[in-house]
Structure 1
């Protein structure tokens, strides 16, 4: 295959990965908005709308396999295709987590959950994902490292939110407030915190694979 045609295929692959990233990021932002506003209609839309992500993912996966097996790229091109293959897996998983988040909203009590705190975490992880995709688009190693460095702060926010919820349940018990009525909602809040933290982890994975692609460095891989 002529080099010009192969480079066009690589450019198309990057465009397709970024398009999948935008689809996933939009679903995540809608999930966060559903959490923030306790919007059951938006939550149901996110929960039930994962087919687009799966279709994009499978199409790009097929393209990656073709490039790896039929074109046999070497050196930097091989790292690019391999990293893109890994990145779409992380993006597909973020899409699944957004689906989970929509479902959790539908099972939470309107008044009980600390929606502002959850939404603040959600906005942080959405920004984390946006920056990871920008790093991939620009092949920016400095931004890759910045995304990874910010992950500890997100982990801390998630730990604080989970701790605050547990303390609230203990206070309810101390004041003999019935706990059973809020337990299911509290469990969904904890799952929301967990899945938001996982979104941040997947965003770091995108940055880590991008750094490997650009510099052949595994310093962010784990």
Structure 2
């Protein structure tokens, strides 16, 4: 009977981790929408929702610690709990990056670089996170390698987007006729856009981390951990 209760705890942990991922991916999706639509209400919804995700993280952290301390898991169970613990940390950090998007949305007035498709990059990272969590749910090791490969594509997208912004800034001519406030607005827009690209790239890195921990959980392999 005690063993059945222990297995139920493990099943509940996985269910709770998957639920947290749904909340986090929704926050990321809303952050991207707020940025695209310049929607302040939606931006505040993402920002204010971060406290709930932090509380969820702390509760799951406590569950993992209890399982370590009280059940003394070994072998596959130990890897599952340890991996879940690491995964919720990555999810919490993705939520922080989604909050950043909400804050950028509050500051953005217009799209100064329409040729930089932030939504496409954001959708790509969102797919990576969702794919990583599906791999965790069904123990799909092949998907773990696919996510790691997709990260190279994401890095290329982000590098190309950053290059467009930097090249345009270098080619922009400033003279005495430029108002100081206009120059300042341009610099803030450039900084905000580069930060957005960087944050989305980091979301992809966290998706790879999730895949790496899933692979470790399933096969005791640290091949993707870095």
TM-score range with shorter-chain normalisation? over 0.9
Structure 1 range deviating more: 107-116 or 53-62: 107-116
Q: Which runs of 5+ in 1 are unaligned?
A: none
Post-superposition Cα deviations, 1:44-99, rounded to whole Å, max 9, x if no partner, equal 22122201101110110000000001100010000000000000000000011100
| Residue 189 of structure 2 corresponds to residue 185 of structure 1 | yes
Post-superposition Cα deviations, 1:94-138, rounded to whole Å, max 9, x if no partner, equal 011100111012122313243861111000000000000000000
| Residue 92 of structure 2 corresponds to residue 92 of structure 1 | yes
What is the CA–CA distance in structure 2 between the aligned matches of 1:111 and 1:35, rounded to whole Å?
Answer: 10
1:179 to partner: Cα distance: 3.1
User: Which runs of structure 2 are paired with 1:157-176 in the superposition (5 Å)?
Assistant: 157-173=157-173
| Residue 63 of structure 2 corresponds to residue 59 of structure 1 | no
Post-superposition Cα deviations, 1:145-179, rounded to whole Å, max 9, x if no partner, equal 11111000001111111111112222322797653
User: Which runs of structure 2 are paired with 1:96-111 in the superposition (5 Å)?
Assistant: 96-111=96-111
Q: CA RMSD in A?
A: 1.6
- 1:17–1:60 contact (8 Å) kept in structure 2: yes
- 2:35–2:108 contact (8 Å) kept in structure 1: no
Post-superposition Cα deviations, 1:163-209, rounded to whole Å, max 9, x if no partner, equal 11112222322797653331111101111011000000001000000
Q: 1:115 to 1:66 in 2, by over 3 A?
A: farther
TM-score, length of structure 1 as denominator length:
0.95
The number of equivalent residue pairs is: 222
Q: Which runs of 5+ in 2 are unaligned?
A: none
Q: Which residue of 2 aligns with 1:18?
A: 18
Q: Which residue of 1 aligns with 2:49?
A: 49
TM-score, length of structure 2 as denominator length:
0.93
Q: 1:115 to 1:23 in 2, by over 3 A?
A: farther
